[in-house]
Amino acid sequence: MILAAVTPFRLSTRDFADCVRSAQWNTQSIDHRDIEHSQRCVPEIEDYNLAVSSLKVKQVASADFPTRWGHFLIHGFATRASASGDGARTEEAVALVMGEVHSGSPLVRIHSQCLTGDVFGSLRCDCRQQLEMALSMIAQLGAGVLIYEQQEGRGIGLMAKLQAYALQDSGFDTVEANERLGFKADQREFQMPVAILKALDIKRVRLLSNNPDKVAALENAGIQVTERVPCEVAPTEHTEEYLRTKQEKLGHLFSSRRVQH
């Protein structure tokens, strides 16, 4: 078992948890006061990302994990950052590991939590298909790692994500909706997955992703990405605009096709 000490860190801004609670707006009513309140929360989210980057993760549990794709080991990781007001907030993630991952460059998928897609099968995104594709590819190879982190809605949280859904229903795309709520197009920084890979002593990876920001995050942290492996899902009538926005506004890469206008 790989363990790393957790170093206390105090956020200099208001409690991140207050920001999460403030996202619980009425999804049927969005006005400028909601947006202004959301905008005040953005520094807390950014500061928390920085706090995570300054901490080492602790491996808190490991267990056998049989799935319909095959047999994995599931490792639980946590990092704890002290915050003003309500105390400390814990960021948690899991790593599903199959086979030998320390020789060569194992296939690695960093997957951000998507309750609506992964659990409920939402057709608004391709998250569940990407998750299942990753598990299937790892199983076919007999080795690899899937990191599942709590970054709902590209890091804005579940309630804010539902608020963004309401804006999308009014004609905004996913980037415009996040920005309308005062967030960046993508709030994620990927520090915790980097720390998990280091805790697992994985130095080189084949990264299963269409997102060049994930490649950059790993490379900048000293983890060599020997290959970016596409993780592409065919568009549907529900995801066509969503995927086009990913491509045109977030720079996601699609090797086999270009989303059509």
In the residue annotation, 10 being an active-site residue is answered as no
Given the residues 109, 154, 188, 228, select the one marked as catalytic: 188
Q: State the catalytic residue, choosing from 186, 206, 228, 244.
A: 186
Looking from the CA of 150 toward its CB, the CA atoms found within 13 Å total: 17
Determine the straight-line distance between the first and last CA of the chain, rounded to whole angstroms.
Answer: 50
Residue by residue, DSSP assigns the chain as ----PPPP-B-SSS-HHHHHHHT---TT---HHHHHHHHHHHHHHHHHHHHHHTS--EEEEEEEEEETTEEEEEEEEEEEEEETTTEEEEEEEEEEEES--SSS--EEEEEE--IIIIIT--SS-SHHHHHHHHHHHHHHHT-EEEEEE--HHHHT-HHHHHHHHHHHHTT--HHHHHHHTT--S-----HHHHHHHHHTT--EEEEE-S-HHHHHHHHHTT-EEEEEEP------TTTHHHHHHHHHHS----SS-----
**Is 213 considered catalytic here?**
no
Q: How many CA atoms lie within 13 A of 181 on its CB side?
A: 36
Catalytic residues: 186, 188
